[in-house]
Chain A
């Protein structure tokens, strides 16, 4: 199993619980939609799976590594090598060009494959935008760059948090098609947080979070 989340608990600093005994698992090549109302803890669970935040109880095992055993550098190493993230807000690096953004994660991970990145750029329709900066791109274009950056590192697990939340219907459709096809081609697992039942329906499985629990 690539990702195992076992009875994970997480509370905000004030003590209010966000996640209570949440468990789920995900295998290589598998896609899972995580749905739920606002504030149900979807993004928090995604952040925990990405080793971006610590949890209070339970365990998360990613590719055989228990996240609770990792210190800060260990978590950073895990993010570089095994996980990629796609956010609703794109979160590209504004000071780097599209080309530099695309290769950035892969270069950090030390597995930069320029042929693969060129292929990604062409496939994502970014060939003419490589020298531009993120601020000059549309939302759809920015999200395509974000997906390209995420896939360039050839991650085992792609985590996407409302990746089309800021896009119109047409752009959403294009972005999702590209993301799903790339995930399928690379054999990565996908955990996608979404409000949309339509999008959730396109994934292999779905889990619903309510009041911090999987229902």
Chain B
């Protein structure tokens, strides 16, 4: 019995191939955009895990000094008392125009590294003495070969594919020289085999702390917020795609009601029909899912290189730009396609299972009734209120996203009711019969188009919201760069001695020399970069303070207070008047909080004297030069010539800003791409809705035609109707988008990255988006309008035929 039933049900799709294509494309787009984001996330996480494995990070206990570096003498103390530890010195190193991560390890004691094993097993294994004795060797990842080509000033290189990208591994002695941190150790790795009776750490080195692998903050944790943001956007795209699936399945089921009644009348049980329909949906979900995975892989492959740059720039996270095909990704993508399809079709399937055998078939009954609209509006209100309750009771990033989801989906569900009320008002106020009919007909079309319009509302709101967030961020960032990058030239000397020579030479010739000295502390609040500054008007006049005490600069420069960045302030709820312990005997009052974009970590500024007191030995190779801007180019060349500095060591302010902005723009490449794709999916949803509604339109259009309206006029009105509906939706999307922007700027950004941004409005962008929406709606309606204009009178007459 099943064979003929399947054949009958599938025959619907043969006659409605466009509907089938729409359904499959809807599933494919939903799955594709979601899977693209997941592919990027899983590739990034896999890179972090691979890097950890390649460097033996996060596997063993570590010993750190919360206030900075561990001294060589402490290391010796621990070794002498029997502690089996391996020293690690790491930090950023500038090679050419790139900043790379360098890790120096005690090659003899450190656990076996895959890169070393690989080299030892190669055809030409290096001699251990080559690596351990001067000048040593630099083990680099293959992507860096070109960068090191011809660099005679550096130790020879050994290339290993068992290293993270943009990474240098070397012996700790070489690292000391390259990082200019002689006698300093970043952390000590506690080796697995320790003697039985060890003196406790608190006796030998009370200032040091032992951390288990689970308590160590790794890259994956640092980048969680970034990946969560991407996932949220992917989920939005997924939801927009599911609107297409929901609409298409609903219509297909409605159109098959007559057939289903006939099958039931012929003796097919409802249970069998439901199972067969479910199997049919699963089949379509899998086909659409496979198509979606192909789309997702292509999108992810196109976007991953930019995401990798962003993650390296923001977090120093080692992400490979190559995308691998992972079985788990395929399985989870198909599961999402399946789950999403069943979720979007659940209502239609439930109604099918409840359909009485003898009730009259009708398309109108399937959806769009007043009760359904009321239910949808009430659900919308409940979602909005629910989202707000969750956020205000739980706070946090996840709660922020729950509120965002509640407001977005809630407003989308309210849309049909809002449009219906608006259109009813327009009908009442319309003067001419055609205008009145157009408004009334639009209202009548709402049930069929509401899902597509909801998708459009979400896509537009996301576009306005994310666009406002990015543009506000850009504007703030540019202003912030102007405040932060005030020196006309930035110089990086080869070592501290050369820096001193240059500063001595420069002092009488320029307005000011501003040292840029910092040290990374393993602070109790997480990694903390401590900077030292000298007394100069540049800071007093330009530094972007967002909260401060009176006489903030005087108190900081006298050594009695500290400035902290916004991230640290918000994360730890520390504000002017509170105290911050930089080291056991150095607790300072917080005198001000400054905005600091582009890094998620904590930062603090003290006077230069205080920096030397808290963390002696901070490198002093970098500094900024204040001088008349028209002398900058000449001075840069003079410095390069006189001190034999490479071009990349003397950088103009404009070049620094350009470089910073370029990184900023790359950060939002994936956001912009997902934005455009989501809008495209919404446009497609309108097109498919109009096309699938086409057959239902004739009974509404034919009477008007018979009363004396031409087909071309009706076609024009069809086009106008689509544009007007899109325009109304776009008008409603604007306030929703601005609410979204405010939540992103004031809630999500604060929770995810620790900074709050002022919101700026960009009306020109809205007008552009509005016009684009009208264009998309017009394009979507062109085909139905063209079909209407060309429809033979015989097809319209069929509406009036008695036998219809």
Residues of chain A touching chain B, judged by Cβ–Cβ distance below 8 Å, are 13, 38, 43, 47, 50, 52-54, 72-73, 76-81, 85, 87-89, 91-96, 100, 103-105, 107-109, 135, 161-162, 165
Contact = CB atoms under 8 A, between A and B. Distances in A.
B794 A53 contact: yes
B704 interface: yes
Contacts of A87: 800
Chain B interface size, as a band, is 20 to 34
29 contacts: A43-B800, A47-B800, A50-B706, A52-B706, A52-B797, A53-B793, A54-B793, A72-B710, A76-B705, A76-B708, A76-B710, A76-B713, A79-B707, A87-B800, A88-B800, A89-B802, A91-B699, A91-B703, A92-B703, A93-B437, A93-B700, A94-B700, A95-B443, A95-B700, A100-B433, A105-B707, A105-B708, A161-B800, A165-B802
Nearest to A162: B802
Contacts of A103: 433
B622 interface: no
Contacts of A38: 803
B364 A93 contact: no
Given A72-B712, A91-B699, A94-B699, 11 more contacts: A53-B793, A53-B794, A54-B793, A76-B709, A85-B707, A93-B704, A95-B444, A96-B437, A104-B433, A104-B437, A161-B802
B371 to A, nearest CB: 14
A107 B435 CA distance: 11
B799 interface: yes
Contacts of B699: 91, 94
A100 to B, nearest CB: 6
Contacts of B433: 100, 103-104, 107-108
Contacts of B613: none
A184 B709 CA distance: 28
Interface in B755-782: none
A72 B801 contact: no
A89 B800 contact: yes
Contacts of A161: 800, 802
A139 B444 CA distance: 21
Nearest to A39: B803
Contacts of B708: 76-81, 105, 108-109
A79 B796 CA distance: 15
Interface in B675-708: 699-700, 702-708
Given A95-B444, A96-B436, A108-B434, A43 B710 contact: no
A100 B709 CA distance: 17
Nearest to A146: B703
A135 B699 CA distance: 13
B698 to A, nearest CB: 11
Interface string B427-444: 000001110110011011
A47 B710 CA distance: 16
Contacts of A76: 705, 708-710, 713
B804 interface: yes
Nearest to B707: A105
A196 B712 CA distance: 38
B361 to A, nearest CB: 15
B706 A91 contact: yes
Contacts of A104: 433, 437, 707
A91 B705 CA distance: 11
A161 B801 CA distance: 9
Contacts of A80: 707-709
Nearest to A13: B794
B45 interface: no
B802 A108 contact: no
Nearest to B712: A72
B711 A95 contact: no
Which 7 pairs between the two chains have the least Cβ-Cβ distance? A80-B708, A95-B444, A107-B433, A95-B440, A79-B708, A91-B703, A76-B710
A88 to B, nearest CB: 5
Q: Which of B364, B440, B710, B800 has the most CB of A within 10 A?
A: B800
A137 to B, nearest CB: 15
A105 B704 CA distance: 9
A76 B700 CA distance: 17
Interface string B84-127: 00000000000000000000000000000000000000000000
A54 to B, nearest CB: 7
Contacts of A96: 436-437, 440
Contacts of B441: 93, 95
Nearest to B441: A95
A53 B800 CA distance: 13
A77 B437 CA distance: 18
B477 to A, nearest CB: 51
A47 B802 contact: no
B439 to A, nearest CB: 9
Contacts of A79: 706-708
Contacts of A92: 703
A107 B432 contact: yes
A92 B707 CA distance: 11
B802 A43 contact: yes
